Amino acid sequence: MRNTSDQKQRSPRRSGRNGVRVAAVAAAAAVTLAACSSGSTPTSTSPKQPTGSATSASITWSASPIAQVGIRAALIKAFEAAYPKIHVTLISAPTNTDTNRAQLVTQISGGSTSPDVFMGDVIWPAEFGAHGLAVPLSNYLPSSYWSKFAPGLVSGASYNGKVYGSPLFEDQGFLYYRKDLLAKAHLPVPKTWEQLKSESETLQKDGLVKYGFVWEGNSYEGLTCDFMEYLTSAGGKVVNSSYTKAEIDSPAALRALTFMRSLITSGVSPSAVTTFEEPQAMSVFDAGQAAFLRNWDYAWSNSQTPSDSKVVGKVGVAPLPTFAGQSYPGYSNIGGWNLYINPHSTHLAADLTFVKWMSSTTAQMILGKTYSEIPTVESVRKALAADPSAAPPIHVAAQTRLVPRPAGTPNYPKVSSAIYTNVNAALSGSTSPSAALAAAQSGINTALSGGL
Ligand code: GLC
């Protein structure tokens, strides 16, 4: 995720429903400021031709299914209705963001002209920008184009003063809970992680549900997202503000990781959670086997799709909990996906037409209204927020506190893998939380020595 510079929008961040502005912690501010320095929104751009006005072409679009396979086909259909002479062929990309990225890096660095356009994670701009793996879109699209996006998204999609990704949709972490089970046991929606754990134990002891809490614990990017949430809520951070030093080996991180491990040792989370990615966590919850789920906004639409879910009508959504003694709510990681163009594409004008159309109200409404993704275009976001029938995550997003991942460095993949491999080892019990954090600290320092 672009995360890097979601600063402007998030730190200090949006007003809650009660109108009180929620201040972001210093940790998040530090990381985002650093990101800002490497990824600020370009101020003076003289767009080159073509500006995205192709009339006919056939292009390929690589995109992962994310939550529901139907999203991509629905978008292509609506685009082709608006531009009947531009044909888009979908290339289905892997759901795992790391595998997706590795494939694209191999293809594009090998000079492949396909895909023309790719849906890529918000954490990719620094790496793809630094290595010439994506077209600097701000060379072609004027500042009037970029100004329609919600604050912070464009700077998060930038690296060294150029915008590489056109924001498509935003993801945030949410707490999904079983309304019916909490009501039966007369329990409130948990506001702290400790409360979530003890409520889970009660519900399990009473035989109301098999597992308390499911989340993403596999050794992959999604675990970095989950860990960032506990870490930031405990008051910790990953790197210093200038991206020169790891700061993950801290008492706050130890609190976060020790708690995560205790979810497994207590039986609140199944031990298989150390192999779960988003789809596995969602499917256990949607099968009615867990009281709580941590997942992104789109998990709402899955949980309310009768063919996928046994818990239709029984699910509530809240901001993530915090740790006892820290302010509520806890932090949600910023995820989401942008559109990028392959520098070897031979259809630049058509690519730009497609990319631009994805920020139209039609496209953004398909994403937001039908699939509970958070729109990136400010006017659409506001329209949905004012619509009581919009999916609950869209409304709860007004209360969340966001933390980006430290992706302002092209070496972010190595930073993240130092986090998730070591956190996963501690979760599965093959190493202690303190040894895992020491190893993560050293791995991150090695990754950072590669420079910004
Ligand atoms: C979601 C997020 C993305 C993140 C990924 C991790 O797809 O949008 O930013 O990297 O999950 O699994």
Per-residue pLDDT of the chain (452 residues; tens, 9 = 90+): 323 332 222 232 332 222 222 223 233 333 333 333 333 344 334 456 555 566 689 999 999 986 666 889 999 999 999 999 999 999 999 999 999 999 999 999 999 999 999 999 999 999 999 999 999 999 999 999 999 999 999 999 999 999 999 999 999 999 999 999 999 999 999 999 999 999 999 999 999 999 999 999 999 999 999 999 999 999 999 999 999 999 999 999 999 999 999 999 999 999 999 999 999 999 999 999 999 999 999 999 999 999 989 999 999 999 999 999 999 999 999 999 999 999 999 999 999 999 999 999 999 999 999 888 999 999 999 999 999 999 999 999 999 999 999 999 999 999 999 999 999 999 999 999 999 999 999 999 999 997 54
How many angstroms does the Cα of residue 336 sit away from the middle of ligand 1?
6
Residue 221 lies in a domain: yes
pTM of the model: 0.89
Rounded Cα distance between 206 and 183, Å, is: 13
- State the pairing for strand pair 315-318/166-178: antiparallel
Does a structural domain hold residue 202? yes
Rounded distance between C-alpha atoms, residue 3 and residue 416, angstroms: 13
For ligand 1, atom 6, which residue shows the shortest CA distance?
222
Number of domains into which the chain is organized? 2
pLDDT of residue 53: 62
* 372 Ramachandran zone, left/alpha/beta (phi>0; psi -120 to 50): left
Residue 122, ligand 1, Cβ within 6 A = yes
> Could you tell me the two tokens for 126?
């620094």
Q: What are the residues whose beta carbons fall under 8 Å from the beta carbon of 340, sequence distance 6 or more? A: 117, 118, 119, 120, 124, 128, 134, 135, 137, 164, 165, 166
**What separation in Å is there between the alpha carbon of 4 and the centre of ligand 1?**
14
Amino acid at 113: T
pLDDT at position 256? 98
CA distance 176 to 284: 12
Is the shortest distance between the CB of 221 and ligand 1 below 6 Å? Answer: yes
Pairing of strands 166-178, 331-341: antiparallel
Same domain, 21 and 62: yes
C-alpha 99/C-alpha 128 separation (Å) is: 15
pLDDT of residue 70: 84
Indicate if 309 and 347 belong to the same structural domain.
Answer: no
Judge residue 206's burial from the number of C-beta atoms within 10 Å of its C-beta, 0-12 exposed, 13-18 middle, 19 or more buried.
exposed
Tell me how far the alpha carbon of residue 230 lies from the centroid of ligand 1, in angstroms.
16
pLDDT at 111: 98
CA distances to 286, 298, 301, 310, 372 from 305, in Å: 9, 11, 6, 9, 12
Same domain, 202 and 235: yes
Co-location of 395 and 378 in the same domain: yes
In a domain, 445, yes or no: no
d(Cα 70, Cα 394) in Å, to the nearest integer? 20
Q: In 3-state terms, what secondary structure has residue 71?
A: helix
Question: Does residue 335 have its Cβ closer than 6 Å to ligand 1?
Answer: yes
Same domain assignment for residues 329 and 372: no
90's enclosing H/E stretch is strand 86-92
Q: Is 345 helix (H, G, I), strand (E, B) or coil?
A: coil
CATH number of the domain enclosing 211: 3.40.190.10
In a domain, 417, yes or no: no
Q: Indicate whether 53 and 97 sit together in one domain.
A: yes
Separation CA 220–CA 297 (nearest Å): 19
Same domain (yes/no): 155, 234: no
φ, ψ of residue 51 to 5 degrees: the values are -100, 10
* Cα 219 to middle of ligand 1, angstroms: 14
Q: Are residues 312 and 327 in the same domain?
A: yes
Within-domain flag for 437: no
Among 318, 2, 286, smallest CA distance to 171 is for 2
Cis peptide before 115 (omega within 30 of 0): yes
- Position 81 scores a pLDDT of 97
Q: Are residues 316 and 340 in the same domain?
A: no
| Same domain as 357, residue 301 | no
- Cis peptide preceding 12, ω within 30 of 0: yes
Residue to probe by mutation, ligand 1, list 171, 295, 371, most atoms within 8 Å of CB = 171
Q: What is the helix, strand, coil percentage profile of the chain, to 5?
A: 45, 15, 40
Q: Which atom of ligand 1 is nearest to the CA of 216?
A: 12
Distance 367 CA to ligand 1 centre (A): 16
Q: What is the token pair recorded at 218?
A: 């596999």
Distance, in Å, from the CA atom of 93 to the CA atom of 89, rounded to the nearest integer, reads 12
> Per the structure block, which two tokens stand in for 245?
């030093």
Rg (CA), the chain: 21
What the block records as the tokens of 144 is 């009037």
Strand partners, 332: 402
> Are 158 and 35 members of one domain?
yes
C-beta of residue 414 within 8 angstroms of C-beta of residue 450? yes
Alpha-carbon distance of 303 to 178, in angstroms, equals 11
- Which pLDDT value is given to residue 371? 85
Residue 440: what pLDDT?
98
Tell whether omega for the bond before 190 is within 30 degrees of 0, i.e. cis: no
Same domain? For 111 and 121 the reply is yes
Domain range for 280 is 174-333
